[in-house]
Chain A
């Protein structure tokens, strides 16, 4: 029997067998499907190329290296109108990442608190959290964005209201913070010693690492002897010594924003477009995060809380040490989707004039150069890589915190 099967397989494959023989049929059909898909794809691409060439606009990415000629108000990397379109796109990309990171952080913290509040035995608090979730979840994020932007623009005073003897607005915190309808101006830190900022950052990281090590030592001692040595005094000493030295050496100075000419100058300018976008994305996504947190907490068996309570843990400790760590494995996968949604929703930035990737590459550059297809393809590529990057990083984290069952 085995002999005959072998002969069919090796010697007598004929064309009809490819479809009639169940051993080959699947592969044959897959091969045909693959050829068809590739043909259609190839046709689409070549047709696009031909048509673009016929329109007198052959596909080319050379425009990326031409002078951009337009200004971008928020650029965390060096940019001027003399820079290239590519640099403008990167500036936009950095702006996208900034608002996405700020939004994700705020939405997580806010969502966590609201999610916990929804399950609170305190009725008014739970009700309030519920109203929040329903209101924010059921209105499109674009409307929240426009509403917040309109409120900032119309309700806050313009810089000119701070001017003169009969000024109608005053700065906050002994004239150091100006809240205007063009954004918030806050004091900035500068250092007299070159590299002072890095010195300070290094000192803070170093002190943090020392505190962590102290806590580990204390943990080990506690496990061995049942007694935990006090760590806060030596930790405080290390912090004061390291950070204090760095501060003295680097010579920090505060630059306070001042009204000069048309605008406030000096300090850090958080533009109203950034604030509106950040708030809208955070508040909207927080509603979804809250629901995810609620479902995660609800998934933890009630017995866990009862057991924690019987050990004498306070409700706060129960939540922090027992419930949330277990809820995490339910929470994280849907949370990843929320982070990705928030990042993609940041492309609504153009509605309030925040210069993100959609505003620079897929907005002004596209329009000034007329390279629609190229700009949109590049933009999609950027978003795809950012989303894939976020996804990979968080999936790795998720794999780490999941239950290890052996």
Chain B
């Protein structure tokens, strides 16, 4: 072998060996998060009440708080989160490629996403439904009168599929204006490039709250779909799915048990209620069963408050969004929010 070809050959063989050896394994997400020291969480690019950057430039909102709660439960620090803003189109790829640990971005739980998309939904944080936002000046009272309307719709969403089914089954036609982000949708809607903006009613309420004159717009009475929204993780890491799911359930249970971000420490020391003791780690060690510390739920509740606090701070009637609890009330108040027992 001459002196020129030798190193070339050697490096080619070396490259081959290096590449062959680099077969990635499916990692344990909890270990990855602990090693990294922070949670990477996919959120919406900007949706008032759910995921937005506040005046101080910090991420805030309902979906954002879920990330903070999981970070508190796993790392003991609700601020140890890196937020990755994702559009409706990029979100699933970001999750399946491992770019993010959790997707907490008003995403609807559907059969095909759970199965074919190889994602695992860990629970419903917000029960929503698709609606239509329209100018009051148009003078339409019902979604059944939308024949021929131009509709702004975020592409790659379940709303897009519901929309075409709704118009088809009612024998009406429409002109879709495909858009990428809520901000773009609002801009197009306000410029009257479209007559109606369709999205989950919560998102419509959020959008309307940011308009200069919210009273000039109304959400039509028809809710045309079920949109259970919640965080999701990759298929195949069952412990991680349990951690995310039970963190959310801990927040719901906390509301039911009267634990708040204010009183959680005091209750941990004083409460005689057995389930409070189990949840907060003073009675037994539920955390260890899931690879977490004994105080995991306590940390989560201290970081973001219970479900009710989270709701009223971000979305409730006292917030600019002004949404009623409705289906999202606790089961004890006639709603659907229900946490299985902590035992």
Residues of A within 8 A of B (CB): 19, 29, 32-33, 36, 39-40, 43-44, 47, 50-51, 54-57, 69-73, 81-82, 153-154, 158-160, 181-182, 260-263, 265, 272, 350-351, 353, 355, 359, 363-364, 366-370, 372
Contacts and interface: CB of A to CB of B under 8 A. Distances in A.
B155 A363 contact: yes
19 contacts: A29-B5, A36-B12, A40-B16, A54-B26, A55-B26, A69-B164, A70-B161, A71-B176, A72-B176, A81-B164, A182-B175, A261-B149, A262-B138, A262-B148, A263-B148, A263-B149, A359-B178, A367-B89, A368-B156
A19 B1 CA distance: 6
A73 B193 CA distance: 14
B178 A353 contact: yes
A368 to B, nearest CB: 6
B49 interface: no
Contacts of A81: 164-165, 168
Nearest to B151: A71
A349 to B, nearest CB: 10
Given A47-B23, A70-B164, A153-B193, A370 B149 contact: no
B116 A181 contact: no
A363 B156 CA distance: 7
B155 A359 contact: yes
Given A19-B5, A153-B191, A372-B93, 6 more contacts: A43-B19, A56-B118, A70-B160, A262-B146, A363-B156, A370-B96
A17 B68 CA distance: 68
Size band of the interface chain B makes with A: 35 or more
A264 to B, nearest CB: 10
Contacts of A353: 177-180
B20 A43 contact: yes
A260 B148 contact: yes
B216 interface: no
Contacts of B195: 262-263
A153 B188 contact: yes
A73 B177 contact: yes
Contact of A263 (B88, B138, B175, B235): B175
Contacts of B1: 19
Nearest to A365: B156
A43 B20 CA distance: 7
Contact of B156 (A29, A55, A367): A367
Nearest to B157: A367
B118 A261 contact: no
B125 to A, nearest CB: 22
B193 A51 contact: no
A158 B192 contact: yes
B19 to A, nearest CB: 6
Interface of B: 1-2, 5, 9, 12-13, 15-16, 19-20, 23-24, 26, 88-89, 92-93, 96, 112-113, 116-118, 138, 146-150, 155-156, 160-161, 163-165, 168, 174-180, 187-188, 191-195, 234-236
A263 B150 contact: yes
A359 B188 CA distance: 18
A370 B113 contact: yes
Nearest to A29: B5
Contacts of A44: 19
Q: Which 5 A-B pairs have the closest CB atoms?
A: A367-B156, A158-B192, A370-B117, A81-B164, A56-B118
Given A56-B118, A367-B92, A370-B116, A265 B20 contact: no
A124 B218 CA distance: 55
B193 A182 contact: yes
Contacts of A51: 23-24
A366 B96 CA distance: 13
A32 B6 CA distance: 13
Contacts of B12: 33, 36
A378 to B, nearest CB: 16
Contacts of A55: 26, 96, 118, 234-236
A71 B174 contact: yes
Nearest to A55: B118
A158 B193 contact: yes
B22 to A, nearest CB: 9
Given A153-B193, A262-B149, A367 B178 contact: no
Contacts of A182: 150, 175, 177, 193-194
Contacts of A40: 15-16, 19
Contacts of A372: 93, 96
Contacts of B179: 353
Nearest to B234: A55
B236 to A, nearest CB: 7
Contacts of A260: 148
Contact of B155 (A56, A57, A82, A367): A367
